[in-house]
Amino acid sequence: MRTWEQSSLRRHAALCGDAPDGSGAAAADRLPALRACGPLRGRAAVSGIGGCAAAVPVFVPRLPSLCGFPPPFDGSADQRQRRPVSVTSIACPRRSSESVDPLALALAPPPDETPEERVQRERDEKEARHRSEMIDEQIRAERNAAAKKKPPIKVLILGQSQSGQSVHAHPDAKRWRLTLGALPPRQVDYDFQITHANSAWVEQRAAWRAVIHLNMVNMVNIICRIMGTEMEKMNASVPDPLQMEYEVLEDQVSEEQVLEDDDIEILSSVQRLSGASDDPNSEPEPASIPVSLKFTDTHHELKSALSPLLQVQADLESWLGQNRNRSELQGLATPFMDEEARDLATRRRNPTRPREFFVRSASSWKAAILAMGSSHETQEQNRERTVEVVKIIVGCKEHMIQLWTDTVIQDMLSNRQIHMDEQPGFFLNDIDRIAVEDYEPTDDDVVRARLRTMGVQTYRLVIEHGQERGREWIMYDVGGVRSSRAAWYPYFTDVNAIIFMAPISVFDEQLEEDYRVNRLEDSYILWKAVCSSKLLSKLQLILFLNKCDVLHSKLQRGIEVRRFVPTFGDRENDVPTVAKYFRSQFRDISRRWSPEPRGFYSFLTSVTDTKSTAVTIDAVREGILRNQIQNAELI
C-alpha cells in the first residue's frame, strides 16, 4: 500500500513531467529510502521526480542500487532518448519563490495519517536510515583504504639459468609468503592461487608431479645412456643387440636426441675435472673408464626394462615445454644491453607471433599441463597418456631403484666423477616415494624440482599483517638461459629492486646452452652488464651468492678452485675463503662499473634451504623497503 507521500510524489512527478520510463514514479515508491538519504539527497531525489530523475544518481551515487534508478546521464544516444521531458516544456504550474518547498511538501506526514500508518512509516524510515548509514560507512572505509594504499614493490630476479631464480621467487615454496607474512590475494594471478588451504593447490600439485617425474626419469635415462656407452666401449668388437635396440628407440623418440643436452652438461663437467682438452672448439670427451667395471646380463635387462622411460621423458618434456634443443637456448650473453635485441624483445611480445608451448606468465605452464592440448579430443588423448605415463613410471619403479643402487653403476658414475646428487632435480634417492600412483609432491620436492623458465613469470603477494599491511609485492622471475635474456629489458624501467642470483658453486661448470663458456665467467659478464647499465644506475641491486651448499660438498670432495680460477691462487680451499673471494670479485665489478656510486648488498645463500633463506629474505625485504621509503622522501 502506498503512503500519501508516495501518492503525492507520484502525482508531483506526473504533473512536472516524469521520465518516460516512469523512474520518478518508481522513486516515489521508494520514498522511505530516499528520505533516509538526508535532506540534500532527498531534495535531489524529489527534484528528480519533478522532471529530472536521471540527474538523481549524480547527486546520490549509491542510489541506483538502492532505489533502482537508471544510470547517471552520460549523454549517450540511448539516454538522450530516455531523458525526461523538461519542466518548462510542458504545461506545468510554475511556483513562485514563496511557494512551498516541494521537498517539505513531499516529506510532510499526511494530515489524515492513522497511528498504525505512522508507526509503519517511522519503522520504514528507520530501516532505510540504517541502510544508508551502513553504505556511508562502507564508502568512508573504502576511501580511507584507498588513501592509505601503498604503492606495490616490484622486484626483478635475474641470473643465469639454474642460478636459483625460480626457487627463490616462486611462492609455491611459501618462502616469500611466510617471510612477508603474506597470503596470495584472492583474485590475482593463477600462479598465486597455490596454497594448502586452497583447492587449486590440488591441481597445481598435478603439474609439479609431472615436473618431478620428468626430473627423475631424466636422470635414469642419463644413467642408462652412459651405461650403454660404457658397455659399447667394453664390447667394442662385439655389437650389443640390446644397445642397438636402445639406440633405435632413442632415434625414434626424437630427431634431436633427447638426452644430448643433459649428457653434454654432465660430460662437459667431467671433461673439466679430468683435465681434458682446453680447446674451446673440441667436443667434450668422457674420461677413460677403468676396466674393472663388470656389466652382467642383469644390467642389459635393466636397460631394456627401463627403455620405455625414453618415451615418457619425451612426452613429459613436450607437455612442460622443455623439449628444446641446445641451439634454441643459445644467444648473446647480455642481449638486453644491445639495441637490436631490445627491438627483438619488443617484437617477441607481439601477440600475432605464433605461440609456442613453453613456460611464460601469459600461459602458465601449470595451466598448460592441466589443459593438455587445445581441442577436446587432444585433451582426452593427453589425459589418457598422462595416466599411461604414470603407470609406466610406477611399473619401472623397482628397476629404477635397482639401477640406482647397483654398485657397478655407482662405480661407473664415480669413476667418471659424476655426482648426480649435486645436479638440479635430483630425486633418485626418493624413487620409492615418487614412483607411485598417488604421489603428491611436498614443498621440499617443489623447491628441489628443476624446470627451466622461458619468458617471464609474475608472482604477487599482499602483506596481511603489521605496518605494511595491504602492500603488494610483485616478483618477476625471468628465464636465465641466454635465448631468454633479451626479454629482461622491458622490466628494467619498472622495478624497485633487482635481486641478482649468482651461484658460486659453478666455478668448474659450463653453461648448458654453450659448453665452451664457464658458468662463473658468465655470471661475471651478466653482473657487469647489470651494474654498468645507465638505466639501472639508481636501482638497488642485491646480490645472492647462491648454492653455497653445493660449493661446500664440492670442496669437501677435494675440488680445487685454483684449478679453474687461477687468480684464486694459494688461498685456503674452504667455503669461507672461497665465498669471500668470489664476493670480493663481484664487489669490485660493482664498484668499477656502476655509473654512480651504489651500495653493495650481498648474501651467501642456499635458497633450497627454506629456513636459512627466510632470514635472508627478511633482511632483503627490510633493505628494499628502507630504500623505497628514502627514495619517496627524496621525491
Ligand X SMILES: Nc1nc2c(ncn2[C@@H]2O[C@H](COP(=O)(O)OP(=O)(O)OP(=O)(O)O)[C@@H](O)[C@H]2O)c(=O)[nH]1
Which residues are annotated binding-site positions for GTP? Answer: 546-549
Count of residues touching ligand X (by CB under 6 A): 26
Binding segment toward ligand X, per CB under 6 A, in 88-96, 157-165, 279-287, 581-589: 157-165
Residue 163 touches ligand X, criterion: CB under 6 A: yes
What DSSP assignment string belongs to 553-613?
HHHHTT--HHHH-GGGTT---SHHHHHHHHHHHHHHHHHHH-SS----EEEE--TT-HHHH
CB 302 to ligand X: min, Å: 26
Among residue numbers 166 through 195, which ones bind Mg ion (CB under 5 A)? 166
In the list ligand X, Mg ion, none, the entry touching 608 (Cβ below 5 to 8 angstroms by class) is ligand X
CB 159 to ligand X: min, Å: 5
CB 454 to Mg ion: min, Å: 9
What pairs with residue 501 in β-bridges?
A: 159, 544
In the list ligand X, Mg ion, none, the entry touching 610 (Cβ below 5 to 8 angstroms by class) is none
Among residue numbers 432 through 471, which ones bind Mg ion (CB under 5 A)? 453
Judged by beta carbon, residue 24 or residue 424, the one nearer ligand X is 424
Beta strands in 402-546 (DSSP E): 456-463, 472-478, 497-503, 540-546
Q: Are 317 and 258 in contact (CB under 8 A)?
A: yes
Q: Helices 397-405 and 407-415, interaxial angle, to 10°?
A: 60
In the list Mg ion, ligand X, none, the entry touching 204 (Cβ below 5 to 8 angstroms by class) is none
Judged by beta carbon, residue 240 or residue 265, the one nearer ligand X is 265
Of 492, 475, 558, 554, which Cα lies nearest the Cα of 519?
A: 554
Q: Which residue has the cell 602458465?
A: 364
Of 167, 258, 310, 559, the one binding ligand X by CB under 6 A: 167
Of 162, 271, 361, 496, the one binding ligand X by CB under 6 A: 162
The C-alpha cell at 450 is: 628443476
Among residue numbers 432 through 491, which ones bind ligand X (CB under 6 A)? 447-450, 452-453, 479-481
Alpha helices in 74-169 (DSSP H): 77-82, 102-107, 115-148, 165-169
d(C-alpha 388, C-alpha 308), whole Å: 11
CB 169 to Mg ion: min, Å: 8
Judged by beta carbon, residue 8 or residue 165, the one nearer Mg ion is 165
Q: Are 191 and 171 in contact (CB under 8 A)?
A: yes
Binding segment toward Mg ion, per CB under 5 A, in 7-15, 162-170, 514-522, 581-589: 162-170
CB 564 to ligand X: min, Å: 19
Binding-site members for Mg(2+) are 453
In the list Mg ion, ligand X, none, the entry touching 483 (Cβ below 5 to 8 angstroms by class) is none
Q: What angle do CA 328, 329, 335 make, to 5 degrees?
A: 115
Residues, the chain, total? 635
> What pairing do the DSSP bridges indicate for beta strands 153-159 and 472-478?
parallel
Judged by beta carbon, residue 246 or residue 336, the one nearer ligand X is 336
The C-alpha cell at 194 is: 597455490
Judged by beta carbon, residue 166 or residue 505, the one nearer Mg ion is 166
d(C-alpha 182, C-alpha 176), whole Å: 8
Q: Are 62 and 36 in contact (CB under 8 A)?
A: no
DSSP structure class, residue 49: I
CB 423 to Mg ion: min, Å: 16
464-485 in b/e form (b: 16+ CB < 10 A) is: beeebeebbbbbbbbbbbbbbb
Residue 51 touches ligand X, criterion: CB under 6 A: no
In the list Mg ion, ligand X, none, the entry touching 50 (Cβ below 5 to 8 angstroms by class) is none
d(C-alpha 556, C-alpha 553), whole Å: 5
CB 311 to ligand X: min, Å: 23
Binding-site members are 453, 546-549
341 φψ region: left (φ > 0), alpha (ψ -120 to 50), beta (else)? alpha
In the list ligand X, Mg ion, none, the entry touching 607 (Cβ below 5 to 8 angstroms by class) is ligand X
What DSSP assignment string belongs to 7-68?
HHHHHHHHHH---TT-HHHHHHHTHHHHHHT-HHHHHHHHHIIIIIGGGHHHHSTTHHHHH-
Binding segment toward ligand X, per CB under 6 A, in 69-77, 341-349, 429-437, 541-549: 541-549
Classify residue 277 by burial, with Cβ atoms within 10 Å: 0-12, 13-18, 19+.
exposed
Count of residues touching Mg ion (by CB under 5 A): 3
Of 3, 47, 161, 496, the one binding ligand X by CB under 6 A: 161
Of 271, 313, 540, 608, the one binding ligand X by CB under 6 A: 608
CB 165 to Mg ion: min, Å: 5
Amino acid identity for residue 600 in this structure: F
Find the radius of gyration of the CA atoms of the chain: 35
Q: What angle do CA 92, 98, 104 make, to 5 degrees?
A: 80
Judged by beta carbon, residue 301 or residue 444, the one nearer ligand X is 444
Amino acid identity for residue 249 in this structure: L
Residue 254 touches Mg ion, criterion: CB under 5 A: no
CB 170 to ligand X: min, Å: 8
Of 607, 617, 620, 624, the one binding ligand X by CB under 6 A: 607
CB 399 to ligand X: min, Å: 24
Judged by beta carbon, residue 157 or residue 565, the one nearer ligand X is 157
In the list ligand X, Mg ion, none, the entry touching 254 (Cβ below 5 to 8 angstroms by class) is none
CB 361 to ligand X: min, Å: 13
Of 17, 425, 441, 455, the one binding ligand X by CB under 6 A: 425
How far the first Cα of the chain sits from its last, in Å, is 62
Question: 3-state DSSP call for residue 435?
Answer: coil
Of 24, 48, 159, 286, the one binding ligand X by CB under 6 A: 159
Helix (H) or strand (E) holding 158, with range, is strand 153-159
Residues at the interface with ligand X (CB under 6 A): 159, 161-167, 424-425, 447-450, 452-453, 479-481, 546-547, 549-550, 606-608
Residues at the interface with Mg ion (CB under 5 A): 165-166, 453
